Amino acid sequence: MRPAPSSASAALRSWTRHAFPNTSQTSAVATARLAPQTTSLTSQRRDQSTAAAATSGSSFDSPFTKYDTNKIPSFAKYKAKSPEVSNRVFQYFMVGSMGLLTAAGAKATVQDFLVNMSASADVLAQAKVEVDLASIPEGKNVIIKWRGKPVFIRHRTESEIKDAEGVNISILRDPQKDEDRVKKPEWLIMLGVCTHLGCVPIGESGDFGGWFCPCHGSHYDVSGRIRKGPAPLNLEIPEYDFPSDESLVIG
């Protein structure tokens, strides 16, 4: 292939220069052409947003504008249709009924509590014991059981009564007159429990003709008063009464 003449080379370079312009120059030209369009579009969008905001703000209705907050509202529709006296009577009736029911419930609760806390039937049966005195001859002892404890019943003779009344109480460990220990001179009723350690003394024995406790040697006279030994007190006198001349109730 033959080389092109110099004139042809110059023409080709000139054509190439016109056919492929400079890239940097092209970009600058394009940017210059698009800038006004971009600025216009941004302005249009800003105007639309402002218009939309203004439109929405003007159409908002506050829920408080239709009420006057300085005016007391009317509660007429909440008033009862019946007269005030009828309502008060009904209220009093309900309060009284509730009070009555509460009182009844409290009474039942207290009754159940007291029944559970009270003594059982077998304990109540032992609370009092009745004894026929006609069956006890003069000069004899009878031992009965009362509330789980032995009770000595002594039908004393005239000589025993005189001996008991003639004792100088100033010499006794637990000073007590005979007349203060009996309601009827011929009948001596006392608990058969030694005041030392709770033993049961033996009747018609001892140094004083009354009762003797063999456990530790306590001697009691015919009035049940301690006369000798470690026992500190006289034999205890229970609560008793004579409903008739021939009957005795202990308790």
Catalytic residues: 216
CA dihedral 181, 187, 191, 192 (to 10 degrees): 120
Q: Could you tell me the CA-to-CA distances from 53 to 7, 37, 117, 245 in Å, in that order?
A: 70, 25, 84, 119
CA angle 144, 150, 151 (to 5 degrees): 65
Long-range contacts of the stretch 237-245 (C-beta < 8 A, 24+): 237/181, 237/189, 237/190, 237/191, 238/146, 238/151, 238/189, 238/190, 238/191, 240/183, 240/189, 241/183, 242/183, 242/184, 242/187, 245/133
Q: Do 201 and 224 touch, CB atoms closer than 8 A?
A: no
CB atoms within 10 A of CB 167: 19
**What's the rounded Cα separation, in Å, for the pair 16 and 13?**
5
Residue 168 CB neighbour total at 10 angstroms: 7
Residue 229 backbone zone (phi > 0: left; psi -120 to 50: alpha; other: beta): left
